[in-house]
Amino acid sequence: MMVLPGATIGILGGGQLGRMLALAAAPLGYRVHVYAPETELVAAEVAAQCTRAAYEDRESLAAFASTCDVITYEFENVPSETVAFLETLKPVRPGHEALDVAQDRLAEKRFVEALGGRTAPYRAIESAAQLDAALEQLGLPAILKTRRFGYDGKGQVRIDRPDEAAAAFAELGGTGLILEGFVRFQAEFSVIVARGIDGHEAHYPVCLNRHAGGILARTDIPAAGIPDADVDAATALVVQVADRLGYVGVLTCEFFATDDGPVFNEMAPRVHNSGHWTIEGARTSQFEQHVRAVCGLPLGPVTPTAPRIVMRNLLGDTRAEWPDLLADPTAHLHLYGKSEAVPGRKMGHVTFLSMAPPFKS
* pLDDT for position 361: 32
| Identity of the residue numbered 102 | A
State phi, psi for 112 to the nearest 5 degrees: -70, -40
- pLDDT score at 112: 98
CATH topology of domain 8-92: Rossmann fold (3.40.50)
What pLDDT was estimated at residue 174?
Answer: 85
CB-side neighbour CA atoms (13 Å) of 325: 20
Domain coordinates of the chain in residue numbers? 8-92, 121-181, 187-354
Query: What integer pLDDT is reported at residue 359 of this predicted model?
Result: 42
For residue 241, which of 256, 252, 232 has the smallest C-alpha distance? Answer: 252
Q: What is the pLDDT along the chain (361 residues), one digit of tens a residue?
A: 899 999 999 999 999 999 999 999 999 999 999 999 999 999 999 999 999 999 999 999 999 999 999 999 999 999 999 999 999 999 999 999 999 999 999 999 999 999 999 999 999 999 999 999 999 999 999 999 999 976 666 789 999 999 999 999 999 998 899 999 999 999 999 999 999 999 999 999 999 999 998 899 999 999 999 999 999 999 999 999 999 999 999 999 999 999 999 999 999 999 999 999 999 999 999 999 999 999 999 999 999 999 999 999 999 999 999 999 999 999 999 999 999 999 989 999 999 998 655 544 3
Residue 1 pLDDT: 82
pLDDT for res 51: 98
Backbone angles phi, psi at 39, to 5 degrees: -70, -50
pLDDT score for 175: 86
Buried b (16+ CB within 10 A) or exposed e, 320-351: eeeeebeeeebbbebbbebeeeeeeebbbbbb
Q: What CATH fold (topology level) applies to the domain 187-354?
A: D-amino Acid Aminotransferase; Chain A, domain 1 (3.30.470)
- Could you tell me the fold of the domain covering 121-181? Dna Ligase; domain 1 (3.30.1490)
pLDDT of residue 149: 78
| E strand residue ranges, 37-90 | 49-52, 70-73
Q: For the full predicted model, state whether its pTM sits above 0.85.
A: yes
pLDDT of residue 65: 98
- HEC per residue, the chain: CCCCCCCEEEEECCCHHHHHHHHHHHHHCCEEEEEECCCCCCCHHHCCEEEECCCCCHHHHHHHHHCCCEEEECCCCCCHHHHHHHHCCCCECCCHHHHHHHCCHHHHHHHHHHCCCCECCEEEECCHHHHHHHHHHHCCCEEEEECCCCCCCCCEEEECCHHHHHHHHHHCCCCCEEEEECCCCCEEEEEEEEECCCCCEEECCCEEEEEECCEEEEEEECCCCCCHHHHHHHHHHHHHHHHHHCCCEEEEEEEEEECCEEEEEEEECCCCHHHCCHHHHECCCHHHHHHHHHCCCCCCCCCECCCEEEEEEEECCCHHHHHHHHHCCCEEEEECCCCCCCCCCEEEEEEEEECCCCCCC
